[in-house]
């Protein structure tokens, strides 16, 4: 094929995921990719992150968004009482992703942070959004004195307002119960693993749609530009590759429209995953 000058979609595609599904089809002995093989990438800040890796970081429940907002429309980010340990790199990825979930106009309003670190300390060393106010739930019992010093240092060194609350009851002086999860005295029945699953389904759907669009564009261009040689063997090989490339796109489209997320997101009005 080198002498004919033919380049397949695999060679020409600018989209790595589009190329990978074609590569799977063309590889000897390989079968068409099934649903479990589809994953893809998402963009977090300026980085590309595997959806599986992002799912694992989110599942740590180190921090989360429920979609609740203050009366002023600011999104609430909660750091629950947890012993989960994240590397600083994973922490950066987590916070960057969470802050890009709300609509841009909401992000511009800033964020309210609730820190329920009654067994640990919290550091504001990385938070790429604008923090308007932080509510700190103080530790209780024997840990109170040991951790109070750290909380006091946070309040003194931060450029934003820090309000220390002795209990979840005091927290409700500032935020309504409808804006808080049940573990901090609110009314929101928040299922974190379900939220993660829905968010990652959306990301997989977006990744698949992008790959399919790129594949169709590349395949159409190849068909338009291909000149079949007089050599029968080379012509047969080119047609074989083009057939494989067409077949590689078809399961991708089938997979995209099989997403439960697609059916909910597109077909059900007012369905939300934030």
Q: What is the pLDDT of residue 120?
A: 61
User: Above 70 in pLDDT, residue 197?
Assistant: yes
Contact assessment for residue 16 and residue 210, using Cβ atoms and an 8 Å cutoff: no
Strands (DSSP E) along the chain, which ranges?
Answer: 41-44, 47-50, 64-69, 75-79, 111-115, 131-137, 161-165
Contact assessment for residue 273 and residue 198, using Cβ atoms and an 8 Å cutoff: yes
Angle between the 51-59 and 192-225 helix axes, to the nearest 10 degrees?
170
What value does the mean pLDDT of the chain take?
A: 76
Tokens read off for 53: 């890796």
Q: What is the DSSP string of 77-104?
A: EEE-S------HHHHHHHHHHHHTSS-H
Angle between the 232-258 and 192-225 helix axes, to the nearest 10 degrees?
150
The structure's pTM equals: 0.69
Q: What is the DSSP string of 250-274?
A: HHHHHHHHH-HHHIIIIISTT----
225-254 pLDDT per residue, tens: 777 667 778 778 777 777 777 676 666 556
Name the 3-class secondary structure at 165: strand
User: Above 80 in pLDDT, residue 205?
Assistant: yes
6-28 pLDDT per residue, tens: 555 545 555 554 455 445 544 54
Contact assessment for residue 143 and residue 120, using Cβ atoms and an 8 Å cutoff: no
User: Above 50 in pLDDT, residue 53?
Assistant: yes
Domain spans of the chain? 9-44+196-267, 53-190
Which CATH class for the 53-190 domain? Answer: alpha beta
Q: What is the pLDDT of residue 266?
A: 46
User: Above 70 in pLDDT, residue 209?
Assistant: yes
**How many residues comprise the chain?**
274
What is the Cα 215 distance to its own chain's centre? 23
Higher pLDDT, 231 or 106: 106
Contact assessment for residue 96 and residue 107, using Cβ atoms and an 8 Å cutoff: no
Give the side-chain half-sphere CA count within 13 A for 236: 3
């Amino acid at each position: 094929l080198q002498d004919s000058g033919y380049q397949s979609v695999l060679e020409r595609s600018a989209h790595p995921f589009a190329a990978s599904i074609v590569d799977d089809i063309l590889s000897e002995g390989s079968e068409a990719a099934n649903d479990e093989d589809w994953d893809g990438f998402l963009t977090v800040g300026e980085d590309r992150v595997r959806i599986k890796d992002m799912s694992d970081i989110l599942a740590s429940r180190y921090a989360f968004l429920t979609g609740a907002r203050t009366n002023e429309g600011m999104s609430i980010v909660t750091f629950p009482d947890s012993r989960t340990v994240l590397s600083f790199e994973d922490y950066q990825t987590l916070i960057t992703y969470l802050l890009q979930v709300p609509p841009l106009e909401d992000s511009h309003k800033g964020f309210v942070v609730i820190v329920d670190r009654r067994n640990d300390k919290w550091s504001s060393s990385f938070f790429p959004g604008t923090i308007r106010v932080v509510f700190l739930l103080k530790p209780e019992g024997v840990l109170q004195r040991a951790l109070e010093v750290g909380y006091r240092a946070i309040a003194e060194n931060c450029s934003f307002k820090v309000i220390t609350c002795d209990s979840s009851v005091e927290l409700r002086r500032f935020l309504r119960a409808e804006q808080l999860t049940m573990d901090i005295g609110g009314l929101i029945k928040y299922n974190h693993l379900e939220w993660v699953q829905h968010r990652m389904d959306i990301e997989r759907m977006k990744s698949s749609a992008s790959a399919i669009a790129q594949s169709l564009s590349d395949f159409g261009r190849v068909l338009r530009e291909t000149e079949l040689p007089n050599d029968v063997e080379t012509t047969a090989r080119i047609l074989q590759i083009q057939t494989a490339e067409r077949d590689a796109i078809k399961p991708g489209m089938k997979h995209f429209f099989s997403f439960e997320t697609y059916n909910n997101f597109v077909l059900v009005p007012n369905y939300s995953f934030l």
